Amino acid sequence: MEKNKETKTLSPKLDVVFQALFGEIGNERITKGFLETILKRKIESIDLSKNPILRREFKDDKLGVLDILAELDGKEKCNIEMQLIDQSNIIERILYYWSRLYTRQIKIGEDYSLLEKTIVILITDFEVKNLKEMDYHSVWKIMDNKTGGKILTDKLEIDIIELPKIKGREKEKDKLLDWLYFLENPKSERVTEKMGENKEIKEATEKLDSLSEDERMQRIADLRLKAIMDEKAIYAKGLEKGKLEVAKKMLELKISKETIAKATGLTMQEIENIPN
């Protein structure tokens, strides 16, 4: 079918689109290529059968967190999440996801040696708090505090990818950056060029075009985007209210307005407008 020129390309960063691209059966080559680039190793096989097909099951309800579960080489467990909203508890949440995925591998009474390596990959559309000095892709494992080099076990791995940190790195030659620029702008010049040499990115681009032409997928994406924007607005409102409450208490303690502005991020005018 000829592509409608007026069809708007869906954003692969939107979690419902991200899951349709990387989590559905039939897209194993795309997901395998993406994960091999992130994990920097060869993957022989990948199983995506544990993921629901949202276009079949979606209703008008508000969706929860949409993550992707992949089994690598018949044993390793891998959870992949695209997160657009910064709610400040993201680290605690991915640790919870990791522990849940790890412990559910065995039943009570079974041998702990049956537990396989478990990986959580978090991709964020914001910079993660306390990771300001880290590169756009950081890898976390359990290491000895003194030497910093001795790894206790390879059963735990957490990869965090922060998309805002790739800004200005368009000219760098890096396979992971190729994928991340696909997520940011699948119609960019860089992605178009890479389609000729990276068959997985080419397949992902073609799949995205197909999803963008699917009316049901368009509707799902619109509903999801609205839900995310509403959630962002609610969170921002709550955050602002919290800042004002903190500022009011600081004023009561006779702390200078300049110090309050630095501590809360409020403007001097906002602080002066706080009622006594």
Contact 12, 186 (CB under 8 A): yes
Residues 185/165, Cβ–Cβ less than 8 Å = no
Res. 147 pLDDT band, cuts 50 70 90? confident
pLDDT reading at 245 higher than 90: no
pLDDT digits (tens, 9 = 90+) for 209-223: 999 999 989 988 888
Give the model's pLDDT for residue 149: 79
- The pLDDT value recorded for residue 6 is 66
pLDDT at 32: 98
Q: In the prediction, which pLDDT does 53 show?
A: 64
What mean pLDDT value characterizes the chain? 88
What's the rounded mean pLDDT across residues 24-33?
Answer: 97
Mean pLDDT, range 13-35, rounded to an integer: 96
Of 148-157, 231-240, 259-268, least confident by mean pLDDT is: 231-240
Tokens read off for 152 = 């206790």
pLDDT of residue 139: 97
CA distance 15 to 23: 11
60 pLDDT more than 70? no
pLDDT greater than 50 at residue 1: no
Q: What is the 3-state secondary structure (H, E, C) of the chain?
A: CCCCCCCCCCCCCCHHHHHHHHCCCCCHHHHHHHHHHHHCCCCCCEECCCCCCHHHHCCCCCCCCCEEEEEECCCEEEEEEEECCCCCCHHHHHHHHHHHHHHCCCCCCCCHHHCCCEEEEEEECCCCCCCCCCCCEEEEEEECCCCCCCEEEEEEEEEEEEHHHHCCCCCCCCHHHHHHHHHHCCCCHHHHHHCCCCHHHHHHHHHHHHHHHCHHHHHHHHHHHHHHHHHHHHHHHHHHHHHHHHHHHHHHCCCCHHHHHHHHCCCHHHHHCCCC
- Residue 226's contacts (CB-CB under 8 Å, 6 or more residues apart) are none
CB 136 within 8 A of CB 170: no
Is 80 exceeded by the pLDDT of residue 62?
no
Whose CA is closest to 67, among 115, 119, 130, 116? 119
pLDDT of residue 12 exceeding 50: yes
Q: Copy the structure tokens of residue 206.
A: 């073609």
CB 19 within 8 A of CB 164: no
Say which residue, 211 or 52, is predicted with more confidence.
211
**Is it the case that residue 261 has pLDDT exceeding 70?**
yes
Q: Does residue 183 register a pLDDT over 70? A: yes
> CB burial class (10 A; 0-12, 13-18, 19+) of residue 223?
middle
Model pLDDT for residues 116-129, shown as the tens digit of each residue: 999 999 999 999 98
Least confident window among 55-64, 73-82, 226-235:
55-64
